[in-house]
Amino acid sequence: MSAIINKKRPLYTGYAGSALLETPLLNKGSAFTAEERAAFNLTGLLPPRYETIEEQVSRCYQQYRSFDDAINKHIYLRAIQDNNETLFYRLVQQHLEEMLPIIYTPTVGDACEQFSDIYRSARGLFISYQDRYNLDDVLRNATKAKVKVIVVTDGERVLGLGDQGIGGMGISIGKLSLYTACGGISPAYTLPVMLDVGTNNKKLLDDPMYMGLRQPRVAQDEYNEFIELFIAAVQRRWPEAIIQFEDFAQPNAMPILQRYRDQVRCFNDDIQGTAAVTVGTLLAACRSKGVPLHQQKVVFVGAGSAGCGIAEAIISQMVAEGIAESQARSQIYMVDRFGLLTEGMPDLRDFQQALQQSAAAIAGWNFSGDYPSLLDVMYCAQPTVLIGVSGQAGLFTEQIIRAIKKGCELPIIFPLSNPSRQVEATPEQVIEWTDGQVIVATGSPFKPVHYQGRDYLITQCNNSYIFPGIGLGVIAAKARLISDEMLRSASETLAANSPLANTGKGGLLPPFTELAALSKKIAFAVARVAMQQGLALELDDNALQQRIEDNFWRPEYRQYRRTSN
């Protein structure tokens, strides 16, 4: 363990009295000691008993348990976060499996939808289009001086819930909570950002409570200029910050990523994070099954930027396993609203065209519409893997699932859409319709399924396995950019840590309780690749490991001393 972290040097601060109690990064509440209470003018502001953080956690947990609804639990935890960040993370760390679904997917989806209704206090930066020419001033107003990770959204495609306008702030906050809880990034270095360009969600525009700009979304040139101004302002203020793009709508997500990924430390979590975790989970599934990835035929339902991002990552992985790219592409079938993406289909975006099937490939197929439907693809292509990223509940019908099972003894089925209520089929349905012969993973958490005397653990194939480790690795090695190879090493590290693939038992991915340890391994692998590519500091293995430990923040109170001013 790191010398630096164990040293527990006292922290000097000029805050005192109620201002200290109202600063969530510094507040310790009843844990301020007698000496600190005297030195910081706190005497009388707190109940007299001095408490340990463990005692505080017990009280919070008792209060937490008194709420029945997930959304009320979420509101309660967010209130603790806004009052005392150290306590919040200590509580979450101790009850990680129970609380992740509350601070993150699926409950964070409700929190985004109800953002203006449940709003309590300010967190992060709301950058409105109207402030676009004052961005330096706006960034200077941020309460954090040294920002290392920004999660930014414009709220246009929040999870599978569509345009949530300003409510998208909920997802930026949730993702950053995981950066800290699972990736050890100190909350002092994280900043959630919501770019408010308006909303096209009529319900929100008509809602008297709605707290965002009441106007249709700014689009095209104005929108792109705003993004450009934002990126440039971040570069001036925090040139080393990682920018994670989150929940942008398809027409913007890919162009923004392509415009900036070779210039700044950025990635799009829905395209690249989802792709990395899905490839990692798929590799683990293939290894447990004993059939390599390059021998699989993969059908996607949903050919948006997320689906196409995963498909491209699978193709890269198949090529890395030794098959030709054209062969790999021929094994991927993208099904969208109008059917299988096929040569000649009108209005395909660039990134979709690269994934269309050739007319020759489907020449012998038997189908009735203009393009093969999902069911046609199931019968004619006989896939072995089915991945859902459609955002549409119920798309994997019994007929679809039974059709894949017919052509494959042990299909791999990942209904990934989030949150839980948008899932293409529940794990219970998938297991039942395949008579229990299936490897299943979902994007949101689901309880284990009991079927014919057997318990099936449902693996959550969620970005949270990937992005905290990437962030930690990029920070530890000061990587300048985030390359595809770095993301691929994250997938491989994830797969290499699959309990099922390694031991034949347990989940496809490690339990969430092991996320912190896994994030460190991913950080190490990602940083190593960044160094090999000349994108990062040159460090030997020991020095890199040490920097990962040094950067890993733990929710422990530090001793405070008062600055003399």
Ligand X SMILES: O=C([O-])CC(=O)C(=O)O
Binding-site residue ranges for a divalent metal cation: 246-247, 270
In terms of C-beta density within 10 A (0-12 exposed, 13-18 middle, 19 or more buried), how is residue 61 classed? middle
Partner interacting with residue 426 (select from ligand X, Mg ion, none; CB below 5-8 Å by kind): none
Q: Which two tokens stand for residue 392?
A: 């549409």
Which CB, 110 or 269, lies closer to ligand X?
269
How far apart are CB 467 and ligand X at their closest, in Å?
A: 9
Among 85, 270, 312, 492, binds Mg ion (CB under 5 A): 270
Partner interacting with residue 491 (select from Mg ion, ligand X, none; CB below 5-8 Å by kind): none
Number of residues interacting with Mg ion: please give it, by CB under 5 A. Answer: 2
Give yes or no: 64 in active site. no
Helix (H, G, I), strand (E, B) or coil at 485: helix
Task: With beta carbons less than 8 A apart as the criterion, state whether 98 and 139 touch.
Answer: no
Residue 542, number of CB atoms within 10 A of its CB? 8
Q: Which residue has the tokens 């399924």?
A: 449
Which CB, 247 or 336, lies closer to ligand X?
247
How far apart are CB 390 and ligand X at their closest, in Å?
A: 12
Question: CA end-to-end span of the chain, whole Å?
Answer: 35
Partner interacting with residue 105 (select from ligand X, Mg ion, none; CB below 5-8 Å by kind): ligand X
How far apart are CB 520 and ligand X at their closest, in Å?
A: 22
Binding site listing: 157, 246-247, 270, 418, 462
How far apart are CB 274 and ligand X at their closest, in Å?
A: 6
- Phi, psi angle pair for 439, to nearest 5°: -110, 115
How far apart are CB 162 and ligand X at their closest, in Å?
A: 11
Task: With beta carbons less than 8 A apart as the criterion, state whether 262 and 480 touch.
Answer: no
Residue 6, number of CB atoms within 10 A of its CB? 9
Partner interacting with residue 81 (select from ligand X, Mg ion, none; CB below 5-8 Å by kind): none
* Per-residue burial over 400-415, b = 16 or more CB atoms within 10 Å of its CB, e = otherwise: bbebbbeebeebbbbb
Q: Are strands 339-340 and 332-336 parallel, antiparallel or unpaired?
A: antiparallel
Using CB atoms, what's the residue nearest to ligand X? 105
Q: Which two tokens stand for residue 376?
A: 């046609």
Phi-psi region of 46 (alpha: psi -120 to 50; beta: other; left: phi over 0): beta
Partner interacting with residue 302 (select from Mg ion, ligand X, none; CB below 5-8 Å by kind): none
Query: What is the C-alpha separation between 493 and 245, in angstroms, rounded?
Result: 23
Site string for Mg ion, 223-252 (x = CB under 5 A): ------------------------x-----
Which CB, 391 or 507, lies closer to ligand X?
391
Partner interacting with residue 418 (select from Mg ion, ligand X, none; CB below 5-8 Å by kind): ligand X
Give yes or no: 7 in active site. no
Does 156 bind Mg ion (CB under 5 A)? Our answer is no
Binding site listing for (S)-malate: 157, 418, 462
Which CB, 172 or 331, lies closer to ligand X?
172
Task: With beta carbons less than 8 A apart as the criterion, state whether 537 and 480 touch.
Answer: no
Contact set with ligand X (CB under 6 A):
105, 159, 247, 269-270, 418, 443, 462-463
Which CB, 166 or 416, lies closer to ligand X?
416
Q: Half-sphere exposure of 557 toward its Cβ, with a 13 Å CA cutoff?
A: 21
Task: With beta carbons less than 8 A apart as the criterion, state whether 445 and 464 touch.
Answer: no
Instruction: Please pick, among 28, 175, 405, 521, the residue that the annotation labels catalytic.
Output: 175
Task: With beta carbons less than 8 A apart as the criterion, state whether 299 and 386 touch.
Answer: yes
How far apart are CB 444 and ligand X at their closest, in Å?
A: 6
Query: What is the C-alpha separation between 161 and 244, in angstroms, rounded?
Result: 19
Q: Which residues are catalytic?
A: 104, 175
Binding positions for Mg ion, rule: CB under 5 A = 247, 270
